[in-house]
Structure 1
Amino acid sequence: MRFLLYANLIAIVLLAGSLARLYEGERLPWLEHRQENAVAELPAPETGDEGSVPAPAAHEPSSPLTLEQIMALQLPLPNPERAPAEAEAVAKFVPEPEPRREIVILTEGAYPPFNYRDGSDALAGFDVELSRALCERMKVRCRFVDVPWDRLVPALRQGDGDAIAASMLIPSPGRETPASGDGLILTDRYYSTPGRFAARRNAVPPAATPSGLAGRSIAVQTGSIHQAYAATRFPNAKLETFPSLEEAKTALAAGEADLLFADRNALLRWTSSGAGVCCRLVGPDYGDVAYFGKGAAIVLREEDAALRDAFDAALDAAIADGTYARISAKYFSGSIY
């Protein structure tokens, strides 16, 4: 495109110069060449009685173009200083693919604090608020639709939405999730789900090592991955099992156990509430993928890889500038990344 533009400009310059020379009565080089050839090809003139050769008629230059005739040609004189700007203007008119303007995000709406309906019956929660922040960074509108958990993936497959943001866990070996099926792709994790210990605030927790926890009582939920992990990692600890996480929390608060081992995100939310004021998180996160998985991700159809990449880039930027930490602290009193 730029080559054609510059070629046209050069042609215009040459034509304009030729017109100017005609206007001043000067012959054009190529016309002179043609005239010389024409003279050379004429037959020799016949001599008269005196043997003299008649002189050729003097060449009369053609009348120069008038200013009105030049203007009638409507050939604009080029301006070299404007050439780059004109080329750039032409390039701007190259059509680009129409960007996606709205994304429909499916969520469950029944899993607080990640996704739920608030007092005004609007979808809210960590999944929803973080997704909305990512959409703003991607400069697209996002519309949220709640779908029952077991219908989320089928609804995505049939085109009822463009993505699922509903705390859907990333599949890993030996850990199937609804996102395990063919034809689906996932973003990077947008939060992790490690195990963590909690202890009473006025107690000095023992070292979180197999020897340090030997003989110590640890409250866990019966049949949970946290029970399985604690039994394997801390075989000499005494596990106190409870039918529900709520009962295990109560046991810790009442001093019936030295520690509670459970999901970090649930413990963050509990210890930041009035009900959990008794206790605090201690020790490191335990993120063994075989037990706790890789975390949660946004799920998309495999043909939407570009949208997946846009979500990942927006998530990286949100983490870098503190947006992620701000949203996470609103629901969990700390980062759950």
Structure 2
Amino acid sequence: MTHMTRLIPPIPDDDTCWQAFLARDRAMDGRFVGCVSTTGIYCKPSCGARHPRRENMRFLPDPVAARAAGFRACLRCRPDEVGRDRLAVDAAVALIRAAEEIPALDALAAHVGYAPHHFHRLFKRQTGLTPAGYARSLRADRLKAALGQGGSITDAIYEAGYSAPSRAYADAQRHLGMTPSAWKDGGRGVAIRWRTVDTSLGPVLVAATTKGLCRISFGEGEAELRAHFPKADILPADAALDAMAQAVAALVENPAAPPDLPMDVGGTAFQQAVWAALRAIPPGETRSYAELAAAAGRPAATRAAGSACGDNSLAVLIPCHRILRSDGSLGGYAWGLERKRALLDRERGE
């Protein structure tokens, strides 16, 4: 197998490692291993075996270090396989970032020594995106940054790594929510229709472009919408927007049953991975910010995951209310902690 550079973040402190073992936290698998002095084995954090006494455990960064210290792999949880999976994804990400063209799935899988169909599932589980989706998001991020630096749109397109303007415009529609020229000009000319709808948690603003919903927020109106989109054409609702607004209102009353609604929200590759991870949390369940960062493919980026939650512009539809602090407290919520508590209670049927 091709040699892979280790990109995994440093091992957490011992208390965090111990708590991860007690919780059998799958999000921590691959970040370190726990070594049991009385049995001579090492395990991944989510291992289902009976927990040893705390004084009999030590924590090491990976299976290589554990074997060097004289421990052998647990036959129940197979910790070596977890480390190999994470390293494979890290190597694929590095290859995607370095490539001028989006690598084919077969080439990525061969590079890390996996079957293509298996690696496709593995990559998406680790990052929240498919390899092709990750590569497209990365190019869109670069295009967004290049457009913000001034200069010509054509130069920005090629600087971002696109081989043709048509591909840039297609990706921009998907990831920026508007064409490159509109993005560069602050969204000028983009039509956004809006209305507010009453719910038991207060009025909700619902706004959408022709592509999909671009803002769902509690307690806002036209003035706030114009502040968020100062150069867009703000228009009254039509029948399509009315239907989406009613679906959003129903979602507020029953957040455990999300409708299939189109979305038009621009974000970086990591933000999109965080938002995808949020939507993957089953209704009625919660995660910590650390678990969310791990699910988005960057276990060390806990603070950035919190910022991505704060940048969420689609309340309830992208359920950032399902994220709690590590101590189980509610933490923050852009639209008020009482609403956050109410949404969680409704999902749990309380």
Class of the TM-score when normalised by the shorter of the 2 chains: under 0.3
Larger strand share, 1 or 2: 1
- Higher relative contact order structure (alpha carbons within 8 Å, sequence separation ≥ 6): 1
Structure with greater Cα Rg: 1
Larger helix share, 1 or 2: 2
Q: TM-score normalized by structure 2?
A: 0.23
